[in-house]
Structures are given as structure tokens and as C-alpha cells.
Amino acid sequence: MATDEWTRWLLTRRDGGNAELRAQHATELDVFRDEVLDRALLGPADTVLDVGCGTGLIAFGALERLGPGGHVIFSDVSEAGLEVCRARAGDDRRCSFVHAPAEDLAAVPDSSVDVVTTRSVLIYCDRKADAFREFFRVLRPGGRLSIFEPINRFLLEHAADSLFGLRDAEVGDLLAKVVAVYRDGARRGENPMTDFDERDLLRWAAEAGFDGIEVDYRAQLDVPAEPIGDWAARKDVAPNPLAPTYGEAIDMVLTQEERVRLDTRMTALAETGTPTRRTLATAYLRALHP
Ligand SMILES: C[S@@+](CC[C@H](N)C(=O)[O-])C[C@H]1O[C@@H](n2cnc3c(N)ncnc32)[C@H](O)[C@@H]1O
């Protein structure tokens, strides 16, 4: 089956194929899914449009909550992601599929859905205000919008120079070179991943015409998190679909000698259970179509 950067990341590069990391992510993703769906206040016969469905985290979660009269529209720019969802949906007649960007959902008629959900998708959209206008257009009066987005601008402002939150005198110089790959990528030009924050989400929702807008914002700065774990496995992980894996970034900027020095030290830190530190901000937004 043909794939693309989006689906490759969702299926493998997000955890490097490492079972332990996959299990950790699954636990976190379940929370995000449930929080998005709880805020959407689904009724059993609702039609739900999941925008940027990927491999179906939110959309299949919605399907489980709906009754036999419910319907889920899976939409994404990734044909490969939609294909994964089609295969998983099998002959469930409550599912349909739309290949479209969030900014132009023309295939979905005006006032035709009860709920729009989206998770970690606007962060990749260049025209976010247009996406909000589309969400408003396709929702019926009384319809609900429920969104989750990471606020990566926070990361850029507070932890642009830190890889995994590690401060290690022995390899600090090497970690700084590696993290610069991500930081410089994030600062290049008009980057949709860092050109907005939670206040922009709220403003775009209001400007599109939504009522009852609520944003739940959470920021974590340097919070002790999971141990480094298996260093070789961690090097196969990419922090987002558009970024290199840590191993690829290392290969881009470190000499062979530096790579050996970093591997030796990271393996030692991993063996002693050294924790990473997390800097992350996220926002849930829910809103009503009047
Ligand atoms: C991080 S994944 C999230 C997938 C899914 N929502 C989830 O929660 O697992 C980002 C998704 O956004 C999709 N995407 C990227 N740009 C998009 C756009 N402009 N419109 C719609 N979807 C987009 C990608 O194909 C990918 O499936």
C-alpha cells in the first residue's frame, strides 16, 4: 500500500516501532481522545466529522460511542491514512471517507453534521482561520466543535535549546547541536506549527461565528517525565511527522567521533534510569454553533 509522511509517522516513526514507547503513547492518546470526545457531547444518532483523522484515533473512538443511527465521516489530506481507516472500518455502514484539507471541506455540505472533531491537525494547516470557517459552515445549528492542539510556540519559547530536557555536562555540546536541527526548522519562515497559540484558536472560533467557546490550556515546563529508556529505540523516533528522527538529526550534525561519544553517554544515562523532562503546552477548545 502506498504511504506518505503523515501515515508513516502515525504507524512507525512516532514510536520507532518500539513496543514500550508505543504503549506509553497509547495511554496518552487515549486520554486526548476521551477528552476531545467528552467535550463533543455526542448523541447516539449524531453525524461526526473528524478532520485530519489520520489512522482514526478520534473517529473510531466516536464510532464506539454512537448507536446504529450514528455516522462518522473520516476526512484527511492523506489518502494512505484514509486507506488504513477504510480497512479497519470494514463493512460498517456508519462510516464514510472524504479526501480533503481542513481549509476546504467542499465535499461536506453546509449544515450537515452535528459534531466536528479534530486533533493535532490545525498545527499543520497554513490557513487556520479558513479551517474554522469550514467547521462552522458544515455544522448544523446546535452543533458542537471539539479540538485538541499542541501549542508548540510554548516549546519554542521555553525549551528550544533542550533535547529531552536533559542537562548533561559531558554531552551538553552535542545535545545542543542536535536540538538546533529542530529549533532552526521550527523558526524557519512562516511555520504553521509555531505561528499560533491558544488565544488565536479562541479568536478564530469567535470570528467564524461560534458561541460558548471554552479553551482549556495546560502548560508543563521542565516536568520530570519518563526515563530515557532504550537509547537505540529512541533514536528511531521523530517528534512530529515533518521532522527527522533523533537518529537522522544526529547523523546530520555530528561527526562519527561525536556520535560515539553521545551514544556512550546516553546509554550510560539510560542504564541509570535518568528521567527526561517534559516541556509541553496543549489546548482543548470546544464551541457551539448557535
Ligand atoms: C498528528 S496526525 C493526527 C491524526 C489524528 N487526528 C490523531 O489524532 O491521531 C496529523 C494528521 O493531519 C493530517 N493533515 C495534515 N495537514 C492537513 C490539512 N491541511 N487538512 C487536513 N488534514 C491534514 C495528516 O494527514 C495527519 O493524518
Asked if residue 61 has its Cβ within 6 Å of ligand 1, the reply is: no
Task: Tell me the pLDDT band of 249, cut-offs 50, 70 and 90.
Answer: very high
Which residue minimizes the CA distance to atom 27 of ligand 1? 54
Nearest CA to ligand 1 atom 16: 124
Query: By mean pLDDT, which of 106-110, 124-128, 226-230, 245-249 is the weakest?
Result: 226-230
Q: Is 85 in the pocket of ligand 1 (CB under 6 A)?
A: no
Nearest CA to ligand 1 atom 9: 57
| 288 beta partners | 144, 211
What count of other Cβ atoms lies within 10 Å of the Cβ of residue 234? 20
Q: How far apart are CA 167 and CA 159, in angstroms?
A: 12
Q: With a 6 A CB cut-off, is 105 part of the ligand 1 pocket?
A: no
| Residue 199 main-chain phi, psi, to 5 deg | -70, -35
pTM: 0.96
* Residue 121 beta carbon below 6 angstroms from any ligand 1 atom: yes
CB of residue 217 inside a 6 A radius of ligand 1: no
Confidence of residue 136 (pLDDT cuts 50, 70, 90): very high
Ligand 1 lined by 77 (C-beta under 6 Å): yes
Q: What are phi and psi of 274, to 5 degrees?
A: -55, 125
Q: Please report the pLDDT score of residue 167 as a whole number.
A: 87
Cα(93) to ligand 1 centroid in Å equals 23
Q: Which of 11-20, 48-57, 186-195 bottoms out in mean pLDDT, i.e. has the lowest? A: 186-195
Ligand 1 center from residue 165 Cα (angstroms): 27
Residue 1 pLDDT level (bands cut at 50, 70, 90): low
- pLDDT at 189 (0 to 100): 66
- Give residue-wise pLDDT tens across range 90-114: 999 999 999 999 999 999 999 999 9
Ligand 1 center to residue 101 CA distance, Å? 9
76 lines ligand 1 (CB under 6 A): yes
By the 8 A CB rule, do 186 and 273 touch?
A: no
- Alpha helices, DSSP H, located in the chain: 5-8, 19-40, 57-65, 79-89, 128-138, 152-159, 172-187, 198-208, 231-234, 246-253, 256-271
From the CB of 58, is ligand 1 less than 6 Å away?
yes
| Ligand 1 centroid, distance to 205 Cα (angstroms) | 19
Q: What's the CATH fold of domain 5-288?
A: Rossmann fold (3.40.50)
Report whether residue 125 contacts ligand 1, using a CB cutoff of 6 Å.
Answer: yes
What are the distances in angstroms from CA 262 to CA 50, 80, 134? Answer: 42, 36, 47
How close is the Cα of 268 to the center of ligand 1, in Å?
A: 37
Q: Three cell numbers at 205?
A: 472560533
Q: Is the pLDDT of residue 156 over 90?
A: no
